[in-house]
Amino acid sequence: MLKTTVWRVLHKHLVFKPYHIQRVQQLSDEDHRHQLDFCLQLQDLMSFDGHFLEKVQFSDKATFHVSGAVKQRNVRIWGSENPHAYVEHQRDSLKVNVFCAISSQKVYGPFFSAEETVIGMTYLDMLQPWLLPQLQNILTFIFQQNGIPIHFHCEVRQYLNTVLPGRWIGHASGNDQPLMLWPPRSPGITPCDFFLWGYIKDRIFIPPLPRDVTNLRAWIIAAVKNIDAPMLTRVWQELEYLIDVCHVTPMVHTSNISSSQKNFFSFPVAVNNSIKVGSLVFFL
């Protein structure tokens, strides 16, 4: 059968539309087990302390390019007519490394790193004079970081063991004193990944793109300032839901599961019987 015939049947007779396959990171059985154990520990702490999740300060780093790191496979603009929108791609464009921390009450940052490549000592120089002093007025806060190499730097872990013994979550070695070990390859259960970075990028990478690094920084700051308390409340409701889902269905990518909170991002994308918005998929 001719390809044109197949397309005509799919489009005109069956009224089907083509959708791209969503790529997600491959997870092993051990990854699922670590993630499930983490969620079960979280639920135990939440049942003992009803405000535990509100005490956790999640943190992460992201890179933003002046040219806009928009992937056409993951972006759709819906409308009654084709807007013929396009984004020009520039190789080796200028970029900024951004660090933020997020809690149920506030977003800390953005903090812009002066170095193009962030290393462990650069990260420590941000923690000591900038972030931790801002958190000291929060009683019994818990600091979270994931397992990327700069977080596992020996001096970073020594610093956290000294100032926050038993009050930090992350990748650790046998002599460290974390409250919990962060499960590897688990971006779906941190608000920075399932909300913050997508929210910022969807608001700054809209043509016309930022002109230069100064302009890009200003737009990032403005996007962060736009995040208000009701929005953070919905994010934390989403986080609780994802933790529950991880417990009930541990073999499913939590980044592909969401509750009814549909207002976090722009650029809705249809995927099978669902609507994908940013990094979340809402099943219909």
CB atoms within 10 A of CB 152: 17
Given this model, what pLDDT does residue 131 score? 96
Residues paired with 76 in a beta bridge: none
Q: Where in the chain are the domains?
A: 24-65+93-283
Residue type, 169: I
pLDDT tens track for 127-151:
999 999 999 888 889 999 988 899 9
Q: What is the pTM of this model?
A: 0.75
Q: Does 24 score more than 70 pLDDT?
A: no
Residues paired with 107 in a beta bridge: 102
CATH number for the region 24-65+93-283 comes to 3.30.420.10
Closest CA to 66 of 220, 174, 247, 234: 220
Residues paired with 77 in a beta bridge: none
Yes or no: say if 22 and 271 are a contact pair by the CB < 8 Å rule. yes
| 3-state SS string for 133-171 | HHHCCCCCCEEECCCCHHHHCHHHHHHHHHHCCCCEEEC
pLDDT tens track for 31-78:
888 888 999 999 999 999 999 999 999 999 999 988 775 444 434 444
Closest CA to 78 of 265, 277, 264, 269: 269
Report how far residue 113's alpha carbon sits from residue 105's, in angstroms, rounded to the nearest whole number. 24
Residue 274 CB contacts under 8 Å (≥ 6 apart), including other chains: 281, 282, 283, 284
Angle between helices 229-248 and 29-48 (to 10 degrees): 120
Angle, alpha carbons 53-260-262 (nearest 5°): 100
Q: Does 90 score more than 80 pLDDT?
A: no
* Beta strand extents in the chain (DSSP E only): 56-65, 95-102, 107-113, 142-144, 168-170, 180-181, 268-271, 274-277, 280-283
